Amino acid sequence: MNIEETLSSENYDEFAWLEDTARELGIPFRRPQVRRRWFDVGQGRALSALQWGEADPELVFLHGGSQNAHIWDAVLLLLDAPAIVIDLPGHGRSFRRADGNHGGFQNATLLADLLPRAVPTARNVVGMSLGALTAMRLASARRDWVERVVLVDATPPVDATAVIRAPANHGPLAEQRRRESYASFQEIMDIAIALNPRRGLEGLQRETRFNAERRETGEWAWRYDVTSRRPDHPISRAEMLGLWADIEKIRAPCTLAYAEYSRFVSERNLETLARLAPHATSRLVRDSGHNIQVDQPRVLADIIGDVMASPGRSQAPS
């Protein structure tokens, strides 16, 4: 499908591009059973998700900040496993909080209550970046339910300035990324290209289209809450440091897949993780930036497959 054909309408088939993704991966394409689901979370709010497969989901996938559920498409095509893929609050088609606080603590509180009721078989959690921070708190809060955890290129920070210093949060490009609207889809694409110089154009077009929406005025906007990207947003840095306490409490086997060119996982992060969570393992992913699920989807799918084949929580240290 030519992306230009979709720019004037929101009524496009969001699953039509899966065949293109499969072609880029070099795998045979058989259209998977995938559908969008909605979960009522009260107060007139709904959480959106994609459900992959006909069987009851075994895995939960949580994306990173300013992303959405479709960022996992390539990994899910490779895994061919039943899964529920969440649009986190403030992202994709899910509700937005009035206070703009879409941090990991708020996300985990919601999911800790929702997921065991709504998808009780999906006890294996894969989280990337913001989704990984959410997964840490979720696995700590629901030690009775979570069986395995995969963290993708994220641990808690080792100091309160680590996230603030991240290059993506500063400079003219970051300011452009936080605009409320854009005159055209191409303006959004220009930002996406500048932020992802390693990414192939065709795949990046698909990802960006999933992450953008056209308003009734004809203007375009990101499909996530841009206020959450501001460096001065009141998502507590101390809160993020406190996630190390959650890491210590996790009883499910925990695997960290970290990127060779990571901005967020340093040797200090790895040392702290090994000390506080001796049952955790770390896997280096070569030739990848922060978005391992896009840069090296096959490697990440293999890691997740290995984790799913290994013993779960019942054999983890108590």
Sequence-ordered list of residues with C-beta below 8 angstroms from that of 269, at least 6 positions apart, any chain: 155, 157, 158
Higher-pLDDT residue of 279 and 87 is: 87
C-alpha to C-alpha distance for 26 and 32, rounded to whole angstroms: 16
Instruction: Identify the pLDDT of residue 314.
Output: 62
Instruction: Identify the pLDDT of residue 8.
Output: 44
Q: Which helix (H) or strand (E) holds 75?
A: helix 73-79
Higher-pLDDT residue of 93 and 229 is: 93
Class of domain 3-162+237-315: alpha beta
Strand partners of residue 29: none
Please state, for a pLDDT cut of 90, what percent of the chain lies above it.
68
Say which residue the tokens 């192939």 belong to: 200
The yes-or-no answer on residue 282 being catalytic is no
Mean pLDDT to the nearest integer, 150-164: 78
Question: Whose CA is closest to 133, among 205, 194, 62?
Answer: 62
Q: Note the pTM of the prediction, 2 decimals.
A: 0.90
Question: Whose CA is closest to 83, among 13, 148, 130?
Answer: 148
List the domain boundaries for the chain.
Answer: 3-162+237-315
Q: Which helix (H) or strand (E) holds 210?
A: helix 201-210
* Model pLDDT for residues 303-317, shown as the tens digit of each residue: 999 999 999 876 444
Poorest-pLDDT segment among 4-18, 233-247, 276-290, 302-316: 4-18
The model's confidence at residue 155, banded by pLDDT at 50, 70 and 90, is very high
Amino acid residing at 241: L
Question: Whose CA is closest to 244, among 152, 131, 133, 163?
Answer: 133
The model's confidence at residue 237, banded by pLDDT at 50, 70 and 90, is low
Residue 231: is its pLDDT beyond 70? Answer: no
Instruction: Identify the pLDDT of residue 93.
Output: 95
Strands 124-128 and 148-152: parallel
Annotated active-site residue in 66, 73, 290, 295: 290
Annotated active-site residue in 153, 225, 246, 295: 153
Higher-pLDDT residue of 281 and 180 is: 281
The model's confidence at residue 165, banded by pLDDT at 50, 70 and 90, is very low
Give DSSP secondary structure letters for 136-201: HHHHHHTTTT--EEEEES----SSTTTTTT-GGGSHHHHHHHT-S-BSSHHHHHHHHHHH-TTS-H
Mean pLDDT to the nearest integer, 135-155: 96
Instruction: Identify the pLDDT of residue 25.
Output: 95
Phi, psi of 308 (to 5 degrees): -65, -25
Instruction: Identify the pLDDT of residue 197.
Output: 80
Q: Quick check: 188 and 220 in contact, CB under 8 A?
A: yes
Please state, for a pLDDT cut of 70, what percent of the chain lies above it.
86
Q: What is the CA radius of gyration of the chain?
A: 18
Residue 278 gets the label, from left (phi > 0), alpha (psi -120 to 50) or beta, of: alpha
Annotated active-site residue in 66, 129, 140, 228: 129
Say which residue the tokens 């005159």 belong to: 183
Q: What is the overall mean pLDDT for the chain?
A: 87
The yes-or-no answer on residue 129 being catalytic is yes
The yes-or-no answer on residue 302 being catalytic is no
* Model pLDDT for residues 168-209, shown as the tens digit of each residue: 554 666 677 788 899 999 999 999 999 888 788 888 999 999
Question: Whose CA is closest to 311, among 138, 148, 199?
Answer: 148
